[in-house]
Structure 1
Amino acid sequence: MKFTSTDTYIAADDLAVAVNAAVTLERPLLVKGEPGTGKTELARQVASALGLDMIEWNIKSTTRAQQGLYEYDAVSRLRDSQLGDERVRNVSNYIKKGKIWQAFESDKKVVLLIDEIDKADIEFPNDLLQELDRMAFHVYETGETVEARHRPVVIITSNNEKELPDAFLRRCFFHYISFPDPSTLRQIIEVHHPGLKPQLLETALTQFFEVRETPGLKKKPSTSEVLDWLKLLLAEDLTAEDLRRDGVNALPRLHGALLKNEQDVHLFERLAFMARAQR
């Protein structure tokens, strides 16, 4: 089965090609792009479209690669041995399986999402090279080797906060999710907000792209933010006329859904001040 757009997710042709290529090559798919462009949601939609379960591993700054394989609780075992607990005879009682182990031992093929890998330490990707390449790892405490029963579809996301090692990149199929063009964005909006009045949609999108393309903007609003903004416009029952700006007030209505830091708000306030000064 090939991945394409779904009822709730519009995938550009190049993204669908990347997903299917990674599945065919049995390589991890490394997906980069601006925050809010649907990287995490892509994994869920791939799992749904291919009829697979998904195992999600959310990476934090403190996450270690070993945690994805397993963790050995030596402290609990020591405590239980002091208490005379019979469980200490079996070391496997103190091993907690990680997300990669869960994916490897699954009775059927799954989608394994490693989300926001760039949040972790720079050595994190390198520490997973062999395991993701060979689809196997060794458990030193028990002496067993865990091999994947069914090679999972591995999708790795990155917000590009730091560079990933070349050796890791070489083992992945790479795709960058570009911000959608106006036509694709309209399709995405139609999926989430069907039947939007054409005049309101046209005015809102014109204003959104004006905001996004403003020189000096620190954080450009993303796909998820324009969807949130439109949801608010609908909740407030605003019309296209309500959105029109007179050039004096540069900030769009309900701008908190689009502008996410004070520098960008101040930028638009300065633009408004300059517009008033020229009148």
Structure 2
Amino acid sequence: MRFEGTKDYVATGDLNVAVNAAIALQRPLLVKGEPGTGKTELARQVAAALGVPMLEWAVKSTTRAQQGLYEYDAVSRLRDSQLGDERVHDISNYIRRGKLWQAFEAEERVVLLIDEIDKADIEFPNDLLQELDRMEFHVYETGETVRARHRPIVIITSNNEKELPDAFLRRCFFHYIRFPDMDTLKAIVEVHFPDIKQTLLATALTQFFAVRDQQGLKKKPSTSEMLDWLKLLLAEDLTAEDLKADPRTTLPRLHGALLKNEQDVALFERLAFMARSRGR
């Protein structure tokens, strides 16, 4: 099973190498990078390219590792016992299978996405070490051991919001998705907007990178925000000429798709004020 990218996802050569290395080593692939650089979409495209199902476990700040294995619903069992329900005699009726359990018992190999692992508590990755290593876990309520029929392809994403434990990192194959350069971003845009005019694309890309490179920017716009911005430009039927900088402001047209906080908007407004002052 080899990943070479898809027609809907522009994967760089080093990213292809990382995916295939993780598959060959049977290790989880830990993918880091700026938000909006296609980390989550990578898992979907790997599943599509290899022709296997995908399971997605979206991690939140309240997520516990145990939830990926299973949860025992003691409250429902107590309620059923009070109502005299016959289901109460079989404890397995109250075991809710998590994403890891579903991946382990799947009839064929699957891609398991553990998305934004850095959102959870610092102990969350360590609590999954044994299960991801041995591909099995014990269900204490029923006394059974769940073993993977087929080792899933595990892809774990992180936005680098917090450091992950060394013991966890040792068990992963790591790849950092760098922000695409001009040529790669151009190829990504052309996948999504194949009919875009080259003059508009060239001007938009130049403005986009000028915004990203601005010193003092609190949040740099991402690839996904670039695509949203272009979608708006096309919806408004704007041309390359329409995007030319207004001497009264350094803000790009429809800048709300690119700048997502008032500090960054204020930064560009100050730059425009300073430019006007120098021109007097």
Is TM > 0.5 for Structure 1 vs Structure 2? yes
Task: Report the TM-score when normalising by structure 2.
Answer: 0.98
Shift of 1:106: 0.3
User: Are residues 1:44 and 2:44 paired?
Assistant: yes
Name 1:112's counterpart in structure 2: 112
Aligned pairs, how many? 279
State whether structure 2 residue 182 is matched by structure 1 residue 197.
no
Letter in 2 for 1:142: T
User: Superposition RMSD on alpha carbons, in Å?
Assistant: 0.7
CA distance in 2, matches of 1:187, 1:233: 18
Cα distance, 1:97 vs. partner?
Answer: 0.3
Q: How far has the Cα of 1:12 moved from its partner?
A: 0.5
The 2-side partners of 1:164 and 1:186 are apart by 33
State the shift of 1:187 in Å.
Answer: 0.6
Counterpart position of 1:224: 224
Q: How does 1:19-58 map to 2 (within 5 A)?
A: 19-58=19-58
Residue aligning to 1:264: 264
Aligned AA (1:58): A
TM-score by length of 1: 0.99
Equivalent residue number for residue 97 of structure 2: 97
Letter in structure 2 aligned against 1:155: I
Deviation string for 1:131-160 (max 9, x for gaps)?
A: 001000000000000000000000000000
Structure 2 equivalent of residue 142 of structure 1: 142
Deviation at 1:197, TM superposition (A): 1.1
1:80 offset after TM fit, Å? 1.3
Moved more, 82-91 or 15-24: 82-91
Give 3-state SS (helix, strand or coil) of 1:160's partner: coil
Give 4+ residue runs of structure 1 displaced > 6 Å after superposition: none
User: Shift of the alpha carbon at 1:196?
Assistant: 1.5
CA shift for structure 1 position 52? 0.4
The equivalent residue for 2:160 is 160
- Whole-angstrom distance in 2 between the partners of 1:4 and 1:247: 45
Tell me the equivalent position of 2:76: 76
What is the distance in 2 between the residues matched to 1:144 and 1:5? 39
Residues 74-93 of structure 1, C-alpha deviation per residue, up to 9 Å, x if partnerless?
Answer: 11111211222111111000
Unaligned 5+ runs, structure 2: none
The amino acid across from 2:266 in the alignment is H
In structure 1, runs of 5+ residues without a counterpart are: none
Letter in 2 for 1:192: H
